[in-house]
Structure 1
Amino acid sequence: MSKKEDTHIQEDLSIESEFNALIEDYLKTNHRRKVDIITKAFLLAKEAHKGARRRSGEPYIMHPIAVARIVCGEIGLGSTSICAALLHDVVEDTEYTVDDIKGLFGEKIAQIVDGLTKISSGMFGENVSAQAENFRKLLLTMSDDIRVILVKIADRLHNMRTLGSMAPAKQYKIAGETMFIYAPLAHRLGLFAIKTELEELSFKWENPQVYSEIAGKLRDTHRMRADVYEHFAQPVIEKMNELGFKYEIRAREKSVYSIWNKMQAKGVPFEEIYDIFAVRIIFENEVGIDEKKRCWDIYSVITDIYKLRPDRIRDWVSRPKSNGYQALHLTVMGPDGQWIEIQIRSRRMDDVAEKGFAAHWKYKEGKIEEDTELDKWLKTIQEILESPSPNAMDFLDTIKLNLFSQEIFVFTPKGEIRTLAQGATALDFAYDLHSRIGDHCIGAKVNHKLVPLSEKLNSGDQVEILTSKSQLPKSEWLGIVTTAKARTKIEYALRRLRREMAKTGEEMLNKSIEGTNIEITPAIIDRMLDYYQKVSKEELFCAIGNNEITLPQKIEKILTLKKQNPNNGIFSYMKQALHVGKKTEKIDSKTTEYEAIDPKKTYILEEDSFNKNFIMPTCCNPIPGDKVFGYIKDNNEVEVHSIHCPVGFKLKASHGNRIVNLEWGSYTQFPFISAITVNGIDRMGMLNDITKVITAGSLNIKSMSIETNDGVFEGRIIVYVHDVNDLQTLCSRIAKIKGVKAVNRRQN
């Protein structure tokens, strides 16, 4: 037997073994036993993908099987979704059509495969408008059959698990897209375990060094946390056993990504993150015992033993989150002097938390409240889709506002509960009630007290909206609202008002030329645009309609308006740029074209790089030693972004084909700015000691601000450094100053 034949036999055995594992997973579920149709889908996919291989070199069929296993075992879906997962790439990559799938497997499986095919060419295409269009398709298929997006998330999860075979620039694109879109979607659909893993894998591929450092520290300190947990759990276990509860108790550590996120948000090192683990108590669903009552029974047991922190109770049992999550959270002071968070939930609640809405089908008896919450969210998405923002990236941002939001619950004057995103304002609430109420809103009463439209609401507030027929939406309202629903409705209303105003202005212009021999030709309009410095005909008519522009008393004067040279002047350049639909960051009479950049190459940033193609935007201010990537602009300029940059996240997600891998070369001359925060116990001479340390290191200070309050000081210092080593050395020297408690770098 040749080596090639032996390899084929081994691969066939591996494929068979994986498929058998899928069937075993399926048979462990409560779904109906439809093994025949799953086998049929597997055989068709195996034949269709015969000879095809993944970038890693393994047979392509291993990918659909892996996706089907995630769909079955980790999301909990049945045979229809498993078949769709096995067939999800068949229509796109082979000769089979959706009609073939329909003929062989029926309408429902074909419909899901068709939905997956529409979005499987990559969430995002070559240009921004195509990306938004693909995302819109994805959301439309969600509202049609939620299983489409669940299978798509499973597909993305397996791709993330096998991302190592991709080139670095491709890894950045896929990881950025995952963090920007797929993780929030998984979170919103209640797939907590998958959302956490997607974030973790994205972070791991983009920041291998930081990931490995935090993971190492977690391993090193695990024993200490295990001791804290055991001291806490022992008396709780004894009491619950005495009462005869059927339950499971365990400690669950935060993910590396969530720890890093907290370190960044608070500007503290790993050693100052104290809530690394939480205790989870999961009790079994027993016949005749109310879940809600059992949660509070366990709460009572814990608070009889340990002192409660009253401001940290979260009752998600009485009022579930809109992604279906239910649990009772509390925080108590443990026996070792540490605050410990406890999450109490039933086995059903735990399934819902880990597997999202798919888990409801396991427990479903008629239509339950959480499904209604999902329907409400999908309805909100539909409303946004009906009047999307004309700017594609704004559209993505608008949708994202609704993906990763925590909820608050507020009441109408009649006591009706409304769910809003955390941070929602009175104006958001007005638009949540109805677009007409929002459009005419002039103020609100929160708990019977008059407040402005910008007032942020809290859970439990009772809100009454005040309206006036004379009130109309204003563009500044876009800076007040925080929910996607309100933003979309305001933008729609502003566009409608603008069209009406433009129509009025056009009528005023036409009326002014009545009885003359003047005709409003394109040439006349161009002269008026130049003279009044407007970029479009609609803007010109709007300005006339709202009396911003007063037409000359003798209308014949518009024939003599001086037409500017279209090649000169800032305004003409902007008009020209807007006319072709391009955004311009530089207002200049010429655009520099740089040498072409190849996205497949890795570029080294040397001393003279920033005199050539490469530019440093102000959003993240990376310095030599930071992990960075490049974004290729239209003129081949390359923006250098930190791997953690929030602007960079969006670029990776939406312009993956323009991402290029960068590495720092030797860099000693050109200084970079970086910010650090310092805090500690205030004393005489503290400021002087800090400045001495900075100047002793031959570094220059750009700015410095320090505030003291009740003997404690906090400062922010912006310094010029050459690289990360300069910054780390500075931080360690400042940390040695008497009274200084913490020094940390801050991303600008």
Structure 2
Amino acid sequence: MMRQFELVERVKTYDSSADESAINRAYVFAMKMHGSQLRASGDPYFSHPIEVAGILTGYRLDAASIITALLHDTIEDTPATLEDIEKLFGKEIGRLVDGVTKLTRIELQSDHSKQAENFRKLVLAMSEDIRVLLVKLADRVHNMRTLHYISKPEKRRRIALETMEIYAPLAERIGMQEMKSELEDLAFAELHPDARSSIIARLNFLRDQGGDLIGRILEELRSILDEAGVKATVSGREKTPYSIWRKMQRNNVGFEQLSDIMAFRVVVDSIEDCYRALGVIHSRYPMVPNRFKDYISTPKPNGYRSLHTGVYGPERHRIEVQIRTQEMHEIAELGVAAHWQYKQGGKVTEGRQYRWLRELLDILEHAAGPEEFLEHTKLEMFQDQVFCFTPKGDLIGLPRGSCPVDFAYAVHSEVGDTCVGAKINGRIMPLRTQLGNGDQVEIITSKAQTPSPTWERFVVTGKARARIRRFIRTQQRSQYLDLGRAILQKAFKQEGYDYTEKGLEGVLKIFKANSLDDLLAAVGEGVHTGREVVQAVYPGIKTVARAGTDNVVPLKRASKKPDGKHAVPIKGLIPGMAMHFAGCCHPLPGDRIVGIVTTGKGVTIHTIDCDTLEQFADAPERWLDLAWESDVDGNDVHLGRMHLVVANEPGSLGNLSTVIAKNLGNITNLKITNRNPDFFEMIIDVEVRDVKHLTHIIAALRATPAINSVERARN
């Protein structure tokens, strides 16, 4: 176990300005908090955070990362609290330790391998500071190194599988190739021990047969580069057992069929030398077809840059050669951690290899000293997504801004259709609540529930929106079918005939309907009238217009203008019939309108979108299709109603009335419906000419500072 002074000395070798006192305090605090706790190996638990800190010093990370490594398990496994950490070590360390703790807790909630990719995204999305992720990866490396001490085989296998599917790809995604290779090999040893042993045995056999084959190839590569005047450092290695096994699985070949199990790396001084070295090697050895890749001109998404080529090299062995600069090599091995090492003149080097990292990291601040370190880096991958858990631990990825209804439809269409409520982290919350990363969402369903049209206003996923719209269309068609059937039954009865669906089937072609339901829906929608259908079925009859028959129904077809003049210029009214405007929607010239016939009261005029009309859906014979005359006198006065929220301050009502008066409106009634220390809510009736006039008044009111909001009042 590394001692306190040894850890400080390691950090001081690459960061002379590191806060030695803070590292010492963190070492002592963690040792005190973990106390007598033991690991599965029997070692003191405190040895684990020290080893994690030691791993991070190998990547030359800043003092804050080292302190976080020492403290990363204190909140989860000891009596220490986040407040204690912040009080003793400051807000920055508290934030980092809290981030690692949250990742650990989420890690325990999901062990479903099919969720691995979403889990990786969740970890990235929740690691607002890249150092949180680096500490977590180092933590996993040490846990894998000591995995064999865990007695339960199923637990070892679960941890190894999680490492292979989640943490090794995470390390690769941020470019930490060295860490990724170690995690893969440690996990491979647990998951497939026999396969690994077999590959190692075969590698040892080849090594014995070939003698110092790698050494001879290295010497020849150095020699030909030297002769061409290319200054280079050449190193060679066998591919790892896991990478060999994966290639055997992917290509479905045996070990004997693999001929490029050796990889050689050529490190040169500049990009120009990379291409010169490539030319020297290609001119000397035959190239393997389709094995050349140029990651210098086109880097990998994680910033990796190098030239790769396969050749039949010395002694006719097929080998892989990677050519790169020293800087590229550091980036390839250390990934994002290499950012802590490449600094020039106080600035991060702005080479092309940093393009991905510049997009990924928001560099907020630099530490002072001979070697600059990134103090704060914010991870911005997957900021447009949120990842939430089901109660069973399954992970659901959704667009940012999603609500429980989106989550319900993502789980299953039926769950979405029957959703009545949601619990977010154990608390019942509104369905329009926006979800956050790591939320656990439980959907409450009811068989009696159907999708609400209002959901479409706040859902963001295409699946949810499509299902809601589909239901609305289906429901609308069902209503049109019922309405059309009622209209036709009434029309047939008034002409003295029995309504039969068999008779209607003979006239489907006349109305270009594919089925009886299509015809009924068209009549219900107002495309065709009941009288037209009756006349098509019985062509010889002569129908007489009656009040309450076909003047009644077609919602999209206006009747002829009546002979007599009515006091109100409305088309479609039967001469002499009493009428009045509905107090629920206050229709104005310019609105689409419909009339409802009431015995003893005449016709009540409603706007076409008035909610009250739903009460008359089952009585189509009471509906009149109406419209305003085109020659409405612009000086006629009509009543418009507005709902306002007005600031509770001196002069507000005066400003309100002045704005209305300046726009030629006249207040006839004002009612305050709610008041509090900050605002008044009120209903105002205003005399206006038409909808356009009312719209101008509303626009003028919205531009008035004292008016918080104003809408046309309905129902």
TM bucket (normalised to shorter chain) is 0.5 to 0.7
CA distance in 2, matches of 1:42, 1:218: 43
Q: What displacement does 1:100 show?
A: 1.7
Q: Which is helix-richer, 1 or 2?
A: 1
> Judging changes above 3 Å, is the alpha-carbon distance between structure 1 residues 334 and 228 closer, same or farther for their aligned structure 2 residues?
farther
- Contact 1:160 1:198 (8 Å CA) reproduced: yes
Which residue of structure 1 lines up, in the alignment, with residue 139 of structure 2? 155
Matched, 1:507 2:466: no
Which residue of structure 2 lines up, in the alignment, with residue 199 of structure 1? 184
Which residue of structure 2 lines up, in the alignment, with residue 248 of structure 1? 233
> Judging changes above 3 Å, is the alpha-carbon distance between structure 1 residues 137 and 275 closer, same or farther for their aligned structure 2 residues?
closer
CA distance in 1, matches of 2:261, 2:515: 59
**Could you say what secondary structure the match of 1:382 adopts?**
coil
Which residue of structure 1 lines up, in the alignment, with residue 505 of structure 2? none
CA distance in 1, matches of 2:391, 2:36: 44
Q: Give the AA of the match of 1:84.
A: T
Moved more, 166-175 or 105-114: 105-114
Larger Rg: 1 or 2? 2
CA distance in 2, matches of 1:396, 1:162: 33
**Could you say what secondary structure the match of 2:304 adopts?**
coil
Give the structure, 1 or 2, with the largest relative contact order (CA under 8 Å, sep 6 or more).
1
> Judging changes above 3 Å, is the alpha-carbon distance between structure 1 residues 397 and 161 closer, same or farther for their aligned structure 2 residues?
farther
Structure 1 segment 49-68 matched on structure 2, within 5 A: 49-68=34-53
Which residue of structure 1 lines up, in the alignment, with residue 31 of structure 2? 46
Matched, 1:494 2:463: yes
Q: Deviations 1:262-288 (Å, cap 9, x if unpaired)?
A: 2222333222221111111123x5xxx
CA distance in 2, matches of 1:387, 1:58: 37
Structure 1 segment 124-139 matched on structure 2, within 5 A: 124-125=108-109, 138-139=123-124
> Judging changes above 3 Å, is the alpha-carbon distance between structure 1 residues 264 and 22 closer, same or farther for their aligned structure 2 residues?
same
CA distance in 2, matches of 1:128, 1:164: 22
1:335 aligned to which of 288, 291, 314: 314
Given the two structures, how large is their TM-score scaled by the length of structure 1? 0.50
- Contact 1:77 1:358 (8 Å CA) reproduced: yes
> Judging changes above 3 Å, is the alpha-carbon distance between structure 1 residues 87 and 387 closer, same or farther for their aligned structure 2 residues?
closer
- Contact 2:48 2:142 (8 Å CA) reproduced: yes
Which residue of structure 2 lines up, in the alignment, with residue 304 of structure 1? 283
CA distance in 2, matches of 1:550, 1:134: 49
- Contact 1:282 1:347 (8 Å CA) reproduced: yes
Structure 1: which 5+ residue stretches go unaligned?
A: 1-14, 286-290, 399-490, 518-546, 556-748
Structure 1 segment 8-407 matched on structure 2, within 5 A: 15=1, 17-30=2-15, 32-73=17-58, 75-121=59-105, 123-125=107-109, 138-142=123-127, 144-166=128-150, 167-224=152-209, 227-241=212-226, 246-283=231-268, 285=269, 291-309=270-288, 311-364=290-343, 365-366=347-348, 367-374=350-357, 376=359, 381-385=382-386, 393=394, 395=396
Structure 1 segment 549-628 matched on structure 2, within 5 A: none
Structure 2: which 5+ residue stretches go unaligned?
A: 361-378, 400-459, 487-513, 523-715
CA distance in 2, matches of 1:250, 1:507: 73
Q: What displacement does 1:505 show?
A: 2.5
Aligned length: 413
Identity between Structure 1 and Structure 2 (%): 36
Q: What displacement does 1:384 show?
A: 3.5
Q: What displacement does 1:182 show?
A: 0.6
Q: Deviations 1:371-410 (Å, cap 9, x if unpaired)?
A: 4414656655222438999997574799xxxxxxxxxxxx
Q: What displacement does 1:103 show?
A: 1.9
Q: Deviations 1:677-697 (Å, cap 9, x if unpaired)?
A: xxxxxxxxxxxxxxxxxxxxx
Q: Deviations 1:346-377 (Å, cap 9, x if unpaired)?
A: 22111111111110231143355444414656
Q: Deviations 1:470-498 (Å, cap 9, x if unpaired)?
A: xxxxxxxxxxxxxxxxxxxxx93233222
Q: Deviations 1:601-620 (Å, cap 9, x if unpaired)?
A: xxxxxxxxxxxxxxxxxxxx
- Contact 2:18 2:62 (8 Å CA) reproduced: no
> Judging changes above 3 Å, is the alpha-carbon distance between structure 1 residues 310 and 128 closer, same or farther for their aligned structure 2 residues?
closer
Q: Deviations 1:133-180 (Å, cap 9, x if unpaired)?
A: 9766523222x1111111111111111100011110100110111111
Q: What displacement does 1:550 show?
A: 5.9
> Judging changes above 3 Å, is the alpha-carbon distance between structure 1 residues 315 and 362 closer, same or farther for their aligned structure 2 residues?
same
CA distance in 1, matches of 2:396, 2:330: 33
Moved more, 20-29 or 295-304: 20-29
Q: Give the AA of the match of 1:498.
A: R
Moved more, 167-176 or 336-345: 336-345
CA distance in 1, matches of 2:148, 2:178: 21
Q: Deviations 1:298-328 (Å, cap 9, x if unpaired)?
A: 2233233323335322111122211111111
Q: Give the AA of the match of 2:309.
A: L
